[in-house]
Amino acid sequence: MHYLSTRGDTRGLSFVDSLLTGLAPDGGLLIPEQIPAVGDEIDSLRGLDFVAFAKRVLPLFADDIETSTLHTLIDNAYGTFASPDVIEIRELCDVAVVELFHGPTLAFKDVALQLLGQLFAHVLAQRGERLNILGATSGDTGSAAIAGVRGQDNVDIFILYPNHRVSRLQELQMTTVPDSNVHCVAVEGSFDDCQNLMKETFGDLAFKQQYQLGAVNSVNWARIMAQVIYYGWVSLRGVTPVSFCVPTGNFGNVFAGYFAKWMGFPIDSLIVATNDNDILARFFNDGTYARGSVHHTLTPAMDIQIASNFERYLYFLLNKDTDKLKALMQEFAATGSTQLAQISYGDDFLATAVDRDATLEAIRSVHAQSGYVLDPHTAVGVAAARRLAGSVAGPLYCMATAHPAKFPEAVAAALPEVSATHPALDALVGMSERKQVIPADIKAVKAVITKGLARA
């Protein structure tokens, strides 16, 4: 299996190379040259547990890692989950939710980042290399990435987050991790500042090379690959085809569902559920892809205007015409909008935007009907699923992307009488913390990295 960039100038990478590369040097996102098909094997994949299923499908993508080694890495990654099944499905009143949040940080990002941590450890040890991860987070990605690589010898991780602007619980999930390879960096600025500082640091190619910087955000193909697994697995549970509703921010999770469909898993439609940051809902409804300003909502993990993984979808939408895609991304970067109305995207996706009231109402009504407490992100999905259920085929599964205890304020806004808690989060309160506070300045970021690495 070889990987190429959506912008066409980077080609022929092995899986391991693509794992370490993150964003392609030409600015595009890496994608497999061919979609591995599972058609003939589908029947033999039915009825497997999640881990056994992952062991059958992941080798199709990671074919330059020895299969028995890959199996061990998969066991290690999913052995950290609190549920022996890794992923649990609950049939509630009128909806079925797929609980993806039983990993160490209680968000779906653990499913991919636990595996990524294992892959990094193996590949770096084998090559005798080091990697220094630089990431920016508005909350969930930072803690899940830290949980994936904490304590590893060949990796240091630097996470930038906006000081005082992530929730206290999310901050504690990062700053209480005692391992010396973890560096939490609170930036005096916004999340956008953090992301820009990260991009600027990666953009200094000499610095990037000298300090072996790598990325863990969902531009890394391995994250999408790991997410493809649960779509395939759920799709083979029973009646087929199935449809999914996915609370969407960076388009990484729902894109994995689209990819699973093209591999041949029996998936009908994917519902893209957004909050008030509705750029994707507008695109799927009228073909305009236009950036707005970021709204702060009850669902901060989805407060995103530019969904980086959307480029991977556009690549397929444009029939893999990398020149056309490059021109389109340039137009979008220059003007903040582009028109794609003339392109037919078939019926793979449906989309709708869910506002604050509808989110709270979904939390309330599911609780009233079944006693189950939704996290606000999942609630956005449930509200969208109820709106569009009549337009999709088969059983409709809502992806539950976080445990409600991660977002107690939103839960309290809907259900004042309920307090959402989780022992893993309660245990963080009062633990000692480590963080550095820096100004929103690239020199300060580089100094944190050089000093942090000098410790060894």
Ligand X SMILES: *Cc1c(COP(=O)(O)O)cnc(C)c1O
Active-site annotation, residues: 109
Name which of 48 and 294 has its Cβ closer to ligand X: 294
Contact 271, 262 (CB under 8 A): no
429 strand-pairing partners: none
Supply 221's token pair: 């193909």
Smallest distance from ligand X to CB 236, Å: 22
CA distance linking residue 34 with residue 18, whole number of Å: 15
Which of 109, 261, 326, 367 contacts ligand X by CB under 6 A? Answer: 109
Residue 377 is a binding residue for ligand X (CB under 6 A): yes
Q: Which stretch binds ligand X (CB under 6 A): 13-21, 27-35, 57-65, 249-257?
A: 249-257
| Subset of residues 385 to 424 that bind ligand X, contact rule: CB under 6 A | 401-402
DSSP-assigned states of every residue in 23-62: S-TTS--EEESSPPP-GGGHHHHTT--HHHHHHHHHHHH-
Smallest distance from ligand X to CB 111, Å: 11
Q: Spell out, one character per residue from 39 to 78, where the chain touches ligand X: x when CB under 6 A holds, - when not.
A: ----------------------------------------
Give, in degrees to the nearest 5, the angle at Cα 35 between 30 and 40.
Answer: 155
Residue 100 is a binding residue for ligand X (CB under 6 A): no
Name which of 189 and 247 has its Cβ closer to ligand X: 247
Residue 351 is a binding residue for ligand X (CB under 6 A): no
Residue 245 is a binding residue for ligand X (CB under 6 A): no
Instruction: Please state the separation of Cα 254 from the chain's center in Å.
Output: 9
Residue 251 is a binding residue for ligand X (CB under 6 A): yes
| Subset of residues 271 to 310 that bind ligand X, contact rule: CB under 6 A | 301-302
Supply 435's token pair: 């963080």
In the 8-state DSSP scheme, what is residue 421? -
Q: For 236-271, give one letter per residue: b (16+ CB within 10 A) or e.
A: beeebebbbbbbbbbbbbbbbbbbbbebbbbbbbbb
| Subset of residues 132 to 161 that bind ligand X, contact rule: CB under 6 A | 140
Q: Where do we find the tokens 């980077």?
A: 10
The helix or strand, by DSSP H or E, that contains position 325, with its residue range, turns out to be: helix 322-335
CA distance linking residue 53 with residue 177, whole number of Å: 32
Name which of 32 and 247 has its Cβ closer to ligand X: 247
Q: Which stretch binds ligand X (CB under 6 A): 230-238, 243-251, 346-354, 434-442?
A: 243-251
Residue 218 is a binding residue for ligand X (CB under 6 A): yes
CA distance linking residue 365 with residue 356, whole number of Å: 14
Q: Which residues bind ligand X (CB under 6 A)?
A: 107, 109, 140, 218, 247-253, 301-302, 377, 401-402
